[in-house]
Amino acid sequence: MRVLFLGDIVGRTARNEVIEKLPSLRDELGLDFIVVNCENAAGGFGITPKICEALFAAGADVLTTGNHVWDKKEIIDYIADEPRLLRPLNMAEGTTGNGIAKVTNANGQSLVAANLMTNLFMAPNDPVFAALNDVLVRNKLGRDADFILIDVHGEATSEKMALGHYADGRASLVVGTHTHVPTADHRILVGGTAYQTDAGMCGDYDSVIGMDKASATERFIGRGSSRLSVALGPVTLCGVIVETGESGLASAIYPLRRGGVLAAG
């Protein structure tokens, strides 16, 4: 199988680029599934039902999110009825929506995607390691899914790495989101799980993590008072492609970087 994961979409220009490019990427790369983190797709903060529907129509099989999932209140009713849109699984019990989804393609192949939020430097959530273990006890490669993907949304690289090793041999891919910067450590761990600390964002990299660089820099200096706005320059699509064999474990992982100012990958 071949699965593409795209990192956080930031703003209108980036989401339009993703929507435009997804069908051709599926054909070009021979993809069986596409999973996209969409939590910043609506003006850089949150996601709306209309954007979700456009991403699904373009070919996304599952959408993941993170700490900005509730920034647009209209998503609350939608996420309750749309199992393919995930919020972090380890949010408090009773939170609207689901943190895990299973989808099947026309060839009968199945993918389980789980969305988790880390604990370090993030808003309080239930313990992430316990939540991850529960996912992987309940969902086993070969028995419950042909591919298991874990989106680990968080700040600390050390915590993400530990989660990758904790899932090694039990998931097809553990990939980080949230920092909007693609890391260069894509690899297959010793137990056969593909891993990358952060997939990066789909957005304008001539920016400060997708936001207008002038206003963001002024805020750091202490002179900025206006709300951050999304940078609208050329978009780089960032993500990872993972290939698996019959076991569901990874046989290859490749970075994907298309367009914009980053070197192609």
Q: Which active-site residues does the annotation give?
A: 68
How do beta strands 62-64 and 33-37 pair? parallel
How do beta strands 250-258 and 237-244 pair? antiparallel
Partners of 104 in the beta sheet? 110
C-alpha 96/C-alpha 94 separation (Å) is 6
